[in-house]
Amino acid sequence: MTAVLDYHQTTKHSFHRFARSLGYLDWAAQPDPFRRYDSAPRLPLPRAALRPDLPYTDLFTGAALAAPMDLPAVGELLRCAMGLSAWKQHQSSRWALRVNPSSGNLHPTESYIVWNGRVCHYAPREHQLEVRAELAAADRVNAGQESAPTAFLVGLTSILWREAWKYGERAFRYCQHDVGHAIGAFRFAASLLGWQMSLIDCADDEIGALLGTSRDQDYADAEREEPECLFLLTRDGHSTIDVSTLAADARSATWAGTANTLSRSHVEWPVIDDVADATRKGTKGKGDGEKGTELARSQGPREKGTDQAPAKLTARQTILQRRSALGFDAASPLPKAQFLSMLARLRPGPPPWDAIDWPPHVHLAIFVHRVDGLLPGLYFYVRDASARDELRAATNPDFLWEPTNDSNDSNDSNDSNLFLLVPTDVRFAANRLSCDQDIAADGFFSLGMIARLDSALRERGDWFYRRLYWECGLIGQVLYLEAEAAGARATGIGCFYDDPVHEALGLSGMTWQSLYHFSMGVPVDDGRLTSEPGYDGGW
């Protein structure tokens, strides 16, 4: 077994044993949720709501006119992707929530921009840029000093320790989910501003050099950041940036700022170091690049039904009000048309799917509890029709695989990729399999994201392990927003019993593995918490 599959196997939760962790929370070592680069020059970002009236559905169509890539727009991008969404308080504890969700609200994902010749770290609490380096003028990104550029880069890194502090060995998985959510958050914020966004195929070493996270001298005892991904943002979809030249420039640039230490003590989890090492991306990946891009982006127009969701909220409101439900009312139903419309958002092609360069590897096993017009039961939603026969052959032979579209109903917009496997009450199973969490049973539905694992890693390389989680996080981010737009709420579920899920589906081996669970319903709030806006003035 490869190191990656070994990590995956080792970090499974089972009914009898959770993946290894401390087993208690060492509050004295709780990581600071905010990374700072002390002594780096600060660039306060404008606080202006741009595009406040853009309809929610325009996030998926690319209909917004492209904003200039100036400082106000960069500020709005960061605010709507990684900014603070609220401050919560219970008794003497006060904590920030963010626009992007994170397992345990630990926020391992840090974000950077390389904009107008500057490499900047985003400090969300202050809504400031920390200018880490100025690149040589010759390498400025498609721009003179005075004018706004027509393209720039967004980079993401993970501070693996933040999740490991609480979750131990399974934490690497959660960091990767969170990267996926952050990619989605950036893609939607870019859509709000009318910008294109696409993943750049480059080596992690280059990302580390460009963002400065490979600079030992700036970290001393501070927790390191793992380079994850780099995205090109453009106004026109055509501008390009030569990352290798910028990375070479960054290597010889003068850097400012040293990283703050987040915890006063640490616990070593060597399997996390090992899997991080094994999944680092070298140069251009096998099976990646042009072919993948073409596949991922050529899946044609969206299905009928995608725009059926009621879009009373604006795009910006929807993005900023996203929250995780703490519990559901165990009563309210979701209309079938709305459910199908949400699923259709997960088909490749339009944003946010144009940001990644591989075709769907993740499909959904759905526990339907309360969808009007559908029998309660276990369903499968196949995001890429070509995977259906393979999934059918891999799952329990007793499953019905009955199409759910009604051929006699011309209003039925179902694209027939949703199949009924077993009509039955699946509330107990959903709850039990998701670590006995009520949120998996009390909503409209919950689901397991079933990813093609070992063949994908064999074909592409172990680095693809991270991308499978990014795809899951992106699915989650779409569903989080869809829930808000439908007047409901969602919650990501990282805690589930891995192999019992596979057994329930009849899956064996490592070909298909559940990587993330998710739930949606009408929320019941915890009245003990008080809430304040993320920033003064509530902007």
Ligand X SMILES: Cc1cc2nc3c(=O)[nH]c(=O)nc-3n(C[C@H](O)[C@H](O)[C@H](O)COP(=O)(O)O)c2cc1C
Chain contacts with ligand X (rule: CB under 6 A): 97-98, 101-105, 174, 177-178, 181, 323-324, 437, 439, 491-495
Dump strand ranges (E) for 295-405: 334-335, 362-368, 371-372, 377-381, 402-403
Least Cβ distance, residue 310 to ligand X (angstroms)? 22
Least Cβ distance, residue 418 to ligand X (angstroms)? 24
Q: Which residue has 């096998």 as its token pair?
A: 286
Least Cβ distance, residue 444 to ligand X (angstroms)? 16
Nearer to ligand X, 108 or 257 (CB): 108
Task: Pull the structure tokens for residue 14.
Answer: 């089972």
| Neighbouring C-beta atoms of residue 117, cutoff 10 Å | 21
Least Cβ distance, residue 197 to ligand X (angstroms)? 20
Q: Which candidate, 525, 524, 527, 528, places its Cα nearest to that of 329? A: 524
What is the widest separation between alpha-carbon atoms in the chain?
A: 68
Nearer to ligand X, 306 or 491 (CB): 491
Exposed, middle or buried, 160 (CB in 10 Å: 0-12/13-18/19+)?
buried
Nearer to ligand X, 35 or 489 (CB): 489
Tell me the C-alpha distance between 456 and 284, whole Å: 16
Nearer to ligand X, 105 or 332 (CB): 105
Nearer to ligand X, 15 or 240 (CB): 15
**Exposed e or buried b for every residue in 411-447, given b needs 16+ CB within 10 A?**
ebbbbebbbbbbeeebbebbbbbbbebbbbbbbbbbb
- HEC string for 263-312: CCCCCCCHHHHHHHHHCCCCCCCCCCCHHHHHHHHCCCCCCCCHHHCCCC
DSSP H helices, 299-377, are 315-321, 336-344
Nearer to ligand X, 339 or 469 (CB): 469
Query: Residue 403 forms beta bridges with which residues?
Result: 419
| Neighbouring C-beta atoms of residue 404, cutoff 10 Å | 19
Task: Pull the structure tokens for residue 215.
Answer: 């600079």
Least Cβ distance, residue 292 to ligand X (angstroms)? 24
Least Cβ distance, residue 439 to ligand X (angstroms)? 6
Q: Which candidate, 178, 199, 204, 175, places its Cα nearest to that of 187? A: 199
Nearer to ligand X, 232 or 495 (CB): 495
Helix (H, G, I), strand (E, B) or coil at 165: helix
Helix (H, G, I), strand (E, B) or coil at 301: coil
Least Cβ distance, residue 104 to ligand X (angstroms)? 6
Tell me the C-alpha distance between 341 and 321, whole Å: 21
Q: Which candidate, 433, 471, 436, 434, places its Cα nearest to that of 451? A: 471
Least Cβ distance, residue 157 to ligand X (angstroms)? 17
Task: Pull the structure tokens for residue 241.
Answer: 């940036």
Least Cβ distance, residue 243 to ligand X (angstroms)? 28
* 478 touches 345 (CB < 8 A): yes
Nearer to ligand X, 37 or 465 (CB): 465
Least Cβ distance, residue 86 to ligand X (angstroms)? 8
Nearer to ligand X, 176 or 395 (CB): 176
Task: Pull the structure tokens for residue 487.
Answer: 């007047």
Nearer to ligand X, 206 or 484 (CB): 484
